[in-house]
Amino acid sequence: MIVLKDILYKVPIDSVVGNTSVAITNVHFDSRQVALNDVFVAVRGTQSDGHRYIIKAVEQGAIAVICEELPAQIIHGVTYVKVIDSASALAVIAANYYENPSRNLKLVGVTGTNGKTTIASLLYQLFEKAGYKVGLLSTVKIMVAGEEFKATHTTPDSLTINKYLAAMNAAGVEYCFMEVSSHGIHQKRTEGLHFAGGIFTNLSHDHLDYHKTFAEYRDVKKKFFDELPKEAFALVNIDDKNGSIMVQNTKAKIVTYALKTVADFKAQILENQLSGLLLKINSQEVWVRLIGSFNAYNVLAIYATGELLGLEPIENLQLLSQLESVSGRFQYLISKGNITAIVDYAHTPDALKNVLETINDIRTKNEQLITVVGAGGDRDTSKRPKMGHIASALSTKTIFTSDNPRSEDPNAIIAEIEAGVEPLHYKKTLSISDRKQAIKTACQLANPHDIILIAGKGHETYQEIKGERFDFDDYKIVEETLKQLEK
């Protein structure tokens, strides 16, 4: 039996109306999911306010309500707990309800604009190959010791996080790697978790619709490091100018990694090819099957984390060379007709620039680089012209198309992307709003040895248009189209 006051442990409370010794069944922050004897936590959101649904939750059987403001109408038999901050209370309640599962394993959070999925997924692979039971919470999927679950967010809500961590406890998981998004930190989805370490990848332009200014976005990321406990490690990319800012106020042990600067963990790129990277890490050579100089940072962060969590350096290096690429991250095929098609999740200006520069480093001048790219609807609009500028400047030909238009007009998004194209690059671009048609056109324009980059959607298996999700898989489409054209 779970009692309300037990799950309120360490929640900053303002006042209580009713009895906190009542038995409760479940906890929800969505009134539509509330059933008899559940607790409803009213959270203020971006579209609506959970406080509006308190009456509905009580009608559905809620025995207790956690809120920042008491409702005008108090129902007898229901306990009302007024808290300072509902989102924060929800996170602490979630951890209490599932018996603090983050304390029974080593939890490492990865934050930064790009590279979170890559690092978290490859750490999952590394520790699994080292013989441990491992957990993963990522944009692509959730893993509990080999069992796969669907991911809906990069960082899920605090109840979902703790639910999966509890399942990991039950499965005997020793290490869990999770992505920590800026939305996740800002909405306090990760509060109340006990982290053994935090990793900072890099910081560049993204989500400025939500966070408004770059400084605000940076400070939200920094908050994750501010809150790490002193026994944790804070592993930071010190080549990124925001790396030192991230750990300015952390209590955790600061460990640095870099390619260009003096750091605790240092790497050098010896070779950079389409088949992989040859790196020198802390004076040892290692070959990895990951492509692009940005992946040298990811590999170095993974190596350093392995060592910080106790892997032997030799074993660590051996396992690094066995890692397989992550779905939708520089995932490529070479067709029968010798056309290389690359599918990559680059959906920020910086990621797009990195991927294009990597391809330009690898290709020879007579091969064309044909890029297919768009930008998501209902998301940061200021990145659109930047992406248009970068794609057109760094590709031989660029086809602008739709990403997930969501509620927006696809052609209006494309017009904003086109606005960033410099006049001298105009003639190298065309726009086709139907993404499938855009991919097909890229395939038709490609000659043997050319490279096609399809950016922005990576592993996604849908396209979201006007609230509906249609099946869509960049990799499958380009694979099938090239097969048909080369029949």
Ligand X SMILES: Nc1ncnc2c1ncn2[C@@H]1O[C@H](COP(=O)(O)OP(=O)(O)OP(=O)(O)O)[C@@H](O)[C@H]1O
Ligand Y SMILES: CC(=O)N[C@H]1[C@@H](OP(=O)(O)OP(=O)(O)OC[C@H]2O[C@@H](n3ccc(=O)[nH]c3=O)[C@H](O)[C@@H]2O)O[C@H](CO)[C@@H](O)[C@@H]1O[C@H](C)C(=O)N[C@@H](C)C(=O)N[C@H](CCC(=O)O)C(=O)O
Q: Does 364 bind ligand Y (CB under 6 A)?
A: no
Starting at the earlier edge strand, list the strands of the sheet with 331-334.
Answer: 331-334, 340-344, 451-455, 369-373, 397-400, 429-431
* Angle ∠(192,305,93) on CA atoms, nearest 5: 10
* CA–CA separation, 284 and 389 (whole Å): 39
- For the annotated binding site for meso-2,6-diaminopimelate, the residues are 379, 403-406, 456, 460
Q: Does 114 bind ligand X (CB under 6 A)?
A: yes
- For the annotated binding site, the residues are 31, 112-118, 154-155, 181, 187, 189, 379, 403-406, 456, 460
Task: Considering only residues 15 through 44, tell me which ones interact with ligand Y, judged by CB under 6 A.
Answer: 29-32, 43
- For the annotated binding site for ATP, the residues are 112-118
Task: Considering only residues 143 through 162, tell me which ones interact with ligand API, judged by CB under 6 A.
Answer: 154
432: amino acid identity, one letter? I
Q: Does 7 bind ligand X (CB under 6 A)?
A: no
Task: List the single partner that 310 binds among ligand API, ligand Y, Mg ion, none, CB under 5 to 8 Å by kind.
Answer: none
Q: Is 35 buried (19+), middle (13-18) or exposed (0-12) by CB count in 10 A? A: exposed
**What would the x/- binding string for Mg ion be over residues 227 to 266, using CB under 5 A?**
----------------------------------------
Task: List the single partner that 403 binds among ligand Y, ligand API, Mg ion, none, CB under 5 to 8 Å by kind.
Answer: ligand API
Q: Does 47 bind ligand Y (CB under 6 A)?
A: yes
**Nearest residue relative to ligand API (C-beta):** 376
Residue 126 near residue 319 (C-beta atoms within 8 A): yes
Applying CB under 6 A, the span of 29-37, 165-173, 316-324, 452-460 interacting with ligand API comes to 452-460
Taking CB under 6 A as the criterion, the residue among 3, 17, 35, 48 binding ligand Y is 48
Site residues (CB under 6 A) for ligand API? 154, 347, 376, 379, 403-404, 456-457, 460
Site residues (CB under 6 A) for ligand X? 114-118, 139, 154, 179, 181, 201-202, 294, 297-298, 329, 344-346, 350-351, 354-355, 458
